[in-house]
Amino acid sequence: MLKKDPPILVTRPSLPPVEEYEALVREIFSSRFLTNGGSQHKALERALGKKLGTPNLRLFTNGHLALECAIQALNLAPGEIITTPFTFISTTHAIVRCGFSPVFCDVEPDYFTMNPALLEQLITPRTRAILPVHVYGNPCDMDAIDAIAARHNLPVLYDAAHAFGVSVNGRAVADFGAASMFSFHATKCYHTIEGGAIATKDADYAELLNGYKNFGYHPDEEIREVGGNAKMNEFQAAMGLLNLKHFEEQIARRGKVAARYRENLSGVAGLSFRPVRPGATQNYAYLPVSFDPEVFGADRDQVNDTLKTYNIFARKYFYPLTSESACYKGQFDPTETPVALAASRNVLTLPLYADLALSDVDDICEIVLSCKK
């Protein structure tokens, strides 16, 4: 098999027809309103609130700053926030940058999301909030987590960066907890180039978010919070409006790619896909595959390196655990979350995007299977 030219990357952004984007850009140029809640921003905020089933949605320039603002707006006393180390580093950084200490809960072996059975024993008098993470588009056990949080009077802030458009038994993920953060980075199944949002049912909390993302300003010109600048601009919002228009079509195409992977690789000893949580819809955000090197005969890193020789770039995602990161060296013991630690060593996310050719999927699968001993 020849090397892929151009290379196949783990993801590639979906883009609307350029003519559609040009039309909205002309509107922006005509208005000369580039930021601070222009017409594109307002339209996107309304459309996303409807899509995600939330009465209050606030847009941000990126998901990380959205998460920081969401933590700040909870107005918590200093202390600890329980989260998971099996996530992108942004989750842990946001907790630390907001002045809290992360406490790591291990994940469920099937879904790699926070394990509710281990959560309650981590709650102490210093616990201020719980920050679970939906992983690869698979939602957490939100009913169990919310019930535990309610018993202890703790707010739950969900990192829903991977879970755009996902629902469980007909209920949108944004309807759980105190709030949910969504990332609209270009690598996501829905994007605004860069961008993010916080969804909440609490109108007062949403008003606080407006302040934290805009230097603390409110409509009466009072500066009530020590805020920063995390506003989404009009060009991002325009991209978001168009990608929302084409979202269902893109998800259907991603679903066909994911189905082809499962068709080719299901039933292979030592290789496993993540199951879908019962009642949950799928957005096909990522295609994670776990390798058991003792059974498959090659480990995750060997498969990844072999793919690279063909110009195919998968991703070790998430690796390392955030608790292992160099910037936190010596502060945490990754062996205290053994399921997450094993997942970080064994999972490889294979290329998945809407316009990935099925013939390329077949080639990727053939290379993966060639590694089996």
- Residue 311's domain is classified under what CATH number? 3.90.1150.10
Task: State the Cα–Cα distance between residues 232 and 196, nearest whole angstrom.
Answer: 8
112, 222: one domain: yes
Co-location of 94 and 181 in the same domain = yes
Q: Are 46 and 166 members of one domain?
A: yes
Residues 311 and 171 in one domain: no
15: left (phi over 0), alpha (psi -120 to 50) or beta: beta
Q: Report pLDDT for 246.
A: 97
The answer to whether position 8 is within a domain reads no
Residues 261, 231 within the same domain: no
Q: In which residue ranges of the chain is pLDDT below 70?
A: none
336 occurs within a structural domain: yes
**pLDDT given at position 221:** 86
Please identify, among 245, 270, 286, the residue that sits at the C-terminal boundary of a domain: 245
Asked whether residue 308 is assigned to any structural domain, the reply reads yes
Length of the chain: 373
Q: What is the pLDDT of residues 199-222, one digit of tens each?
A: 999 999 999 999 999 999 998 889
Q: State the pLDDT at residue 373.
A: 87
Domain annotation covers residue 309:
yes
Distance CA(179)–CA(181), nearest Å, equals 7
| 133, 213, 324 from 88: Cα distances, Å | 9, 22, 12
Pair 40, 149 in one domain: yes
* DSSP label of 285: -
Residue 5 belongs to some domain of the structure: no
153 torsion bin: left (phi>0), alpha (psi -120 to 50), beta (else): left
**Which of the listed residues 245, 273, 296 is the one where a domain comes to its end?**
245
> Is 73 among the domain residues?
yes
3-class DSSP assignment, residue 174: helix
Residues 329 and 234 in one domain: no
260-317 per-position pLDDT tens digit: 999 999 999 999 999 999 999 999 999 999 999 999 999 999 999 999 999 999 999 9
CA 310, distance to chain mean position in Å, is: 28
Based on the structure, what is the number of domains in the chain?
2
* Cα 119 to chain centroid, rounded: 21
Domain region containing 335: 247-370
- DSSP state letters, 293-340: HHHHSS-HHHHHHHHHTTTB--B-TT-S-GGG-GGGTTT--GGGSHHH
Does residue 165 fall inside a structural domain?
yes
Q: Are residues 231 and 251 in the same domain?
A: no
Same domain membership, residue 171 and residue 214: yes
CA distance 89 to 324: 10
Q: Are residues 264 and 221 in the same domain?
A: no
